[in-house]
Chain A
Amino acid sequence: MGMHKKKTIHSVMFHVGACLLGFVMIYPLLWLLASSFKSNDTMFLNPYSLIPEVWDAAKNYASGLEGVGGVPFWRFLLNSFEVTIVGMVGCVLSSLFAAYAFARIRFRFGNFWFGCVMMTMMIPAQVMVVPQYIILKKLNLIDTKVALVLPWVFGGAFFIFLMVQFFQGIPRELDEAAEIDGCGRISTLFRILVPVVQPAIITSSIFAFYWIWQDFFQPLIFISSPENFTIPLALNMYLDPDSYNNYGGLFAMSVISLIPIIIFFIIFQRYLVEGIAMDGIKG
């Protein structure tokens, strides 16, 4: 009896603590959502409150959607989707090809090239941004969406690493049998292997989506005209106190910028949690 009671108390304490921590973790998000509903005049009356005293959601969202610098917000949204989807698809495909090559094909300097992959994982991309900027400028690609996609479409070290590990867990007999049956490399990869490495592909796609969607550093440097802005750049411009002090609109657009990420997360949560456990990729 005593043992049982102790266990219940333990369990209650656990849930109280876990809920408290959960509230703290999620509070900034709830705060953002609540603030996007508050009217500009009452925004800073009780800033910590999650319940708007004066609701002004429609005005906030409408004024946010008007955009900044003469460019409507949907333009930024479209740019972001364009860059993210092209970048993500290219990134995952290139990484898949590279991982397949590293895991299955013997070629000269294979280890050397894999070492190069690992090197690009250790060196922060920011370090390369000045020379990249100069190259893109020479190619007349500065201030185009191509510049935003280029760093991603050729694959990423994290994804190659993740997929190589996955390929190595698949018995070689599987693709050897396919090759004996007369499948070429490409069709072996897509017909036989892709279904098996699907979890790694999905995990990579999700992370690529997040990273490209939230990428701020490269757009900040490569893009200058507002009609090419992605959402992070647009939000940064909303924040500029000289050009804007409509907090309601700023918070409303911040909420919108997070929605695709949250939806993606809800749909693919299972893969994410497994993917992280599998490889330890940082989210």
Chain B
Amino acid sequence: MLTPWLFGFVLMWLIPMIISIYYSLTDFNLLNTPSFIGLDNYVRAFTGDATFWQALKVTFIYVFFLVPLRLAFALFVAMLLNKDHRGLGLYRTLYYIPSIIGGSIAVSIVWKQIFGNQGVAMTLLGAFGIEQKTSFLGNTHTALGVIILMGVWQFGSSMLIFLSALKQIPGSLYESAMVDGAKPWKVFTKITLPMLTPTIFFNLILQIVNGFRVFTESYVITDGGPLDSTLSYVLYMYRRAFTYFDMGYSCALAWILVAIIGVFTVVLFKTQGSWVHYEAGRE
């Protein structure tokens, strides 16, 4: 029963992992025979490659802004929708649609047009008398912001997860808080937020892992520019491998990324005891 998965795992993961580790220790451009150079690729990344640091910086900024913003916004909207109003199903659907189509090229094309030259954003600001010399995507200070905004726009799936978690909080908790006369903010920080921490934790890990693999937006909307200000780590890896045919170095970059994600995951798991609240009797 496990055979199909096992076959795929060996072919698409296990063997690639082994040869990737090996290539990361070699100088290899697809045509030559890989020559073993030890840890040189790793040393080169950390000591002699400014673009590596730039890509790392861009990706960290992306993750550090996107993940909290998206989760906070998702939680905020989920709390607003967690009430009795008519038409909730419709709103839920509207807010969720961007999450579904967000990964497609078509959406990246739309964002490129909206925030690009002669785009919607520029024209609208122009109509209000705010003239800009460059578009948001042409400006090194704002281009990454546009890409982060696109990620926040796709808050829908996190919102759905929060909604279902909110529904599972026992109403009796809120009733006793009401009896005690607790203020709404206090109810939020003392009941809602602690009860949601397992969900937040799970989301945080997923979103961080996902954030580090950002590629399509960076590739289609800005192609890493202007001046590498939106050069994501995976885009840089891609260029190293398939523009410069620097396969060994690209493999080393890949393993550095795995290590970074690994560190984040381990640190999050280590700290969960201090802030993630699990109900007694539930794992």
Interface residues of A (CB under 8 A from B): 11, 14-15, 17-18, 21-22, 25-26, 28-29, 31-32, 35, 44, 46-48, 90, 93-95, 97-98, 100-102, 105, 107, 113, 116-117, 120, 122-135, 150-151, 153-155, 160, 185, 210-211, 213-214, 216-217, 220-221, 231-232, 235-236, 239, 247, 250-251, 254-255, 257-258, 261-262, 265, 269, 272-273, 276-278, 280-283
- Using A123-B258, A130-B250 as known contacts, say yes or no to A25 and B9 having CB atoms under 8 A apart: no
B184 close to A (CB within 8 Å): no
Q: Are B19 and A131 touching (Cβ within 8 A)? A: yes
Cβ of B243 to closest chain A Cβ, rounded Å = 12
Find chain A residues with CB under 8 A from B99 CB: 283
Find chain A residues with CB under 8 A from B164 CB: 276-278
A210 to B99, CA, bound (A): 11
Find chain A residues with CB under 8 A from B54 CB: none
A32 to B112, CA, bound (A): 11
Q: Are B9 and A216 touching (Cβ within 8 A)? A: no
B192 close to A (CB within 8 Å): no
Q: Are A98 and B5 touching (Cβ within 8 A)? A: yes
Find chain A residues with CB under 8 A from B219 CB: 216, 220
A32 to B250, CA, bound (A): 36
A216 to B234, CA, bound (A): 13
Q: How many A-B residue pairs have CB under 8 A?
A: 241
A151 to B163, CA, bound (A): 33
5 contacts between A and B (CB under 8 A): A28-B153, A105-B1, A126-B254, A130-B247, A255-B106
Q: Are A14 and B161 touching (Cβ within 8 A)? A: no
Q: Is the interface of B mostly helix, strand, loop or mixed?
A: helix
Find chain A residues with CB under 8 A from B156 CB: 283
Find chain A residues with CB under 8 A from B96 CB: 272-273, 283
Point out which of A31, A105, A129, A258 has the most chain B C-beta atoms below 10 A from its C-beta.
A129
B68 close to A (CB within 8 Å): no
Q: Are A95 and B251 touching (Cβ within 8 A)? A: no
Q: Are B220 and A153 touching (Cβ within 8 A)? A: no
Find chain B residues with CB under 8 A from A272 CB: 96
We find that the number of chain B residues with CB closer than 8 angstroms to chain A is: 89
A185 to B3, CA, bound (A): 14
B110 close to A (CB within 8 Å): yes
- Using A15-B87, A283-B156 as known contacts, say yes or no to A131 and B15 having CB atoms under 8 A apart: yes
Q: Are A94 and B100 touching (Cβ within 8 A)? A: no
A236 to B112, CA, bound (A): 12
Apart from the given pairs A14-B80, A98-B5, 12 other A-B contacts in the complex at a CB distance below 8 Å: A28-B114, A31-B120, A97-B3, A98-B2, A98-B4, A101-B1, A154-B5, A155-B5, A216-B216, A232-B105, A258-B106, A277-B164
Cβ of B63 to closest chain A Cβ, rounded Å = 12
A236 to B13, CA, bound (A): 28
A98 to B238, CA, bound (A): 32
Q: Which of B12, B119, B161 contacts A132 (CB 8 A)?
A: B12
B111 close to A (CB within 8 Å): yes
